[in-house]
Amino acid sequence: MSATETNQEDRFFKGLLVGVVVLALLALGVALWRQRQTTYRTDDTPEAAVYNYLLAIRRGDWDKAYDLLGDAPCKPRRGLFEIVLTSDRNFPDVQIVHSRQEGDAAWVTLRFRFEGSEWLPESGYRYDDQVRLKHTAEGWKLVYLPGPIWPFPPMGEGMCSDDFLGGD
């Protein structure tokens, strides 16, 4: 192989590498732009309250997320809520499936999807669970959240200590 052919191959691979990096940066930029374009819902529905809670958690908007929690047993203090959710990086992919409402009570079914590992991609799974809500004068409030999006003692089961209760 001559020096000219080697230089041409080197330039080709360098160009290819630069192209891949540019495409990756472009994809990252589009993803960040789309995330900023996502807005909170303004309708007073159980689905909107759950959607807004999930969006607030993803954005790190802790005040918004905390304000959507109702007066449920085992509701953590505001500061603890932020600390734990900031450190919990295993937030699953969540999709709102459907909802049911009876008077001031509502249930929103979520579908959780967990990815498999690098070595066992087929080990991923999904399952459905429900968020319970109660309608208050301030709108719909979440009073029960399933484990994958609630890294605290179970809400409503009296399994928490006094350290979780009350304000900051």
Q: Model-level pTM? A: 0.70
The residue type of 101 is: Q
Label residue 38 by pLDDT band (50, 70, 90).
Answer: confident
> What counts of helices (H) and strands (E) characterise the chain?
4, 4
pLDDT value at residue 119: 74
Q: Tally the residues of the chain.
A: 168
Distance CA 40, CA 132 (A): 20
| pLDDT surpassing 70 at residue 86 | yes
AA identity, residue 37: Q
Within 10 angstroms of residue 21's Cβ, the number of other Cβ atoms is: 10
Each domain of the chain, given as residue ranges in start order, spans: 1-37, 39-159
Q: Tell me, what DSSP letter sits at residue 110?
A: E
Confidence of residue 168 (pLDDT cuts 50, 70, 90): very low
pLDDT at residue 1 above 90? no
Report how far residue 90's alpha carbon sits from residue 149's, in angstroms, rounded to the nearest whole number: 9
What local confidence, expressed as pLDDT, does residue 33 receive? Answer: 60
Mean pLDDT of 104-119: 87
- Quick one: pLDDT band at residue 131, thresholds 50, 70, 90? very high
Phi, psi of 113 (to 5 degrees): -125, 125
Pick the CATH number of 39-159 from 3.40.190.10, 2.60.40.10, 3.10.450.50, 3.20.20.70: 3.10.450.50
Listed ranges 7-11, 97-101, 126-130; the one with the highest mean pLDDT: 97-101
pLDDT at 111 over 90: yes
Burial of 140 (0-12, 13-18, 19+ CB in 10 A): buried
- Element containing residue 85 per DSSP (H, E): helix 78-87
Question: With pLDDT > 70 as the criterion, what percentage of the chain qualifies?
Answer: 78
65-74, 85-94, 140-149, 151-160: which range is least confident on average?
151-160
